[in-house]
């Protein structure tokens, strides 16, 4: 019975971690956190979701692969939880061991601590940032730039861009020279540079390496400018 209790709590904690990881991965594909989390929970619990909501998961191969993987995890979690729960219930009347309840209490406390930590913004952000970086690295992207969608508004999104590789057309040019609003339909809402946060971004501002830029505009346009085009530039430089 002790083993079943331990397994039960391990699966619950693992479910929480996997939910957060898949939420981060879906955010990398262009979904905001709230929408990504809802769909991940639906997939992992095998509850399903509406046809309209399903549309966002079939628009790209990356999302389809993530959705299928999440479903597989969901079935595994469901089967393990049911098995562990049934084992615990069947064992309750057949034996009494004070050590079991001590174990139960310890695991319950651990679960409470995990839930508490997940609610702390600093801890959650640190964990999410780690997953973002690992996922981006495993994607074998040729650029170190990566995007996180903060929220979406129809066709447009608020995106946080970690800028390591500056596109050639933007290097050493001010926002006024780039005409980022007129030419690309993008608005620079803020720039985080080291310990400094620039909220009122001036027209003479120049993008720097390691800037974390908050942009508003079409997600595909942002991705094309800062991910796709930079990857093409790197490929062209290798050929020279």
Torsion, Cα 61 67 72 74, to 10 degrees, reads: 170
State how many domains the chain has: 2
Q: Which residues pair with 187 in a beta bridge?
A: 216
Together in a domain, 120 and 47: yes
Together in a domain, 93 and 149: no
Together in a domain, 221 and 199: yes
Together in a domain, 110 and 179: no
Residue 206 lies in domain: 141-239
Together in a domain, 31 and 99: yes
Cβ(230)–Cβ(155) below 8 Å = no
CATH (domain of 229): 3.30.70.1450
Cβ(22)–Cβ(66) below 8 Å = yes
Together in a domain, 6 and 102: yes
Cβ(135)–Cβ(115) below 8 Å = no
Together in a domain, 122 and 6: yes
pLDDT tens-place values along the chain, 240 residues long:
566 666 677 778 888 888 888 888 887 777 777 778 888 888 887 766 555 556 666 666 677 777 888 878 887 777 776 676 666 655 655 555 556 666 667 777 877 877 787 777 777 777 777 777 777 666 666 667 888 888 888 778 899 888 888 888 898 899 989 998 999 999 999 999 888 899 888 888 999 988 999 999 998 899 889 888 888 877 776 665
Which one of 74, 100, 133 terminates a domain?
A: 133
Cβ(19)–Cβ(43) below 8 Å = no
Together in a domain, 128 and 85: yes
Cβ(64)–Cβ(31) below 8 Å = no
Together in a domain, 101 and 217: no
Together in a domain, 105 and 76: yes
pTM over 0.75: no
Cβ(164)–Cβ(145) below 8 Å = yes
Q: Per residue in 188-210, is it b (16+ CB within 10 Å) or e — as a string?
A: bbebbeeeeebeeeeeebebeee
Which one of 114, 133, 152 terminates a domain?
A: 133
Together in a domain, 129 and 19: yes
Which one of 83, 99, 133 terminates a domain?
A: 133
CA–CA gap between residue 41 and residue 22 (Å, rounded): 9
13 φ/ψ angles, rounded to the nearest 5 degrees: -65, -40
Together in a domain, 121 and 32: yes
CA–CA gap between residue 200 and residue 184 (Å, rounded): 20
């Amino acid at each position: 019975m002790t083993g079943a209790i331990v397994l039960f709590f391990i699966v619950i904690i693992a479910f929480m971690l996997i939910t957060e990881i898949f939420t981060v991965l879906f955010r990398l594909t262009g979904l905001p956190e709230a929408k990504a989390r809802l769909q991940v929970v639906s997939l992992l619990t095998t509850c399903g979701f509406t046809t309209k909501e399903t549309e966002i998961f079939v628009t790209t191969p990356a999302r389809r692969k993530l959705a299928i993987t999440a479903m597989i995890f969901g079935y595994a979690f469901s089967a393990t939880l049911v098995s562990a729960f049934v084992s615990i219930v069947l064992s309750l009347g057949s034996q009494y061991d004070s050590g079991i309840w001590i174990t139960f209490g310890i695991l319950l406390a651990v679960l409470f601590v995990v839930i508490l930590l997940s609610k702390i913004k600093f801890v959650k952000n640190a964990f999410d940032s780690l997953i973002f970086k690992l996922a981006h690295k495993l994607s074998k992207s040729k650029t170190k730039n990566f995007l996180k969608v903060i929220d979406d508004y129809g066709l447009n999104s608020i995106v946080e861009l970690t800028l390591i590789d500056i596109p050639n057309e933007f290097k050493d040019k001010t926002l006024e020279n780039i005409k980022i609003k007129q030419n690309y339909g993008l608005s620079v809402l803020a720039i985080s540079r080291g310990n400094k946060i620039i909220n009122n971004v001036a027209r003479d501002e120049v993008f720097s390496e390691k800037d974390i830029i908050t942009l508003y505009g079409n997600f595909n346009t942002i991705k094309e400018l800062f991910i796709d085009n930079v990857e093409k530039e790197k490929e062209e430089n290798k050929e020279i």
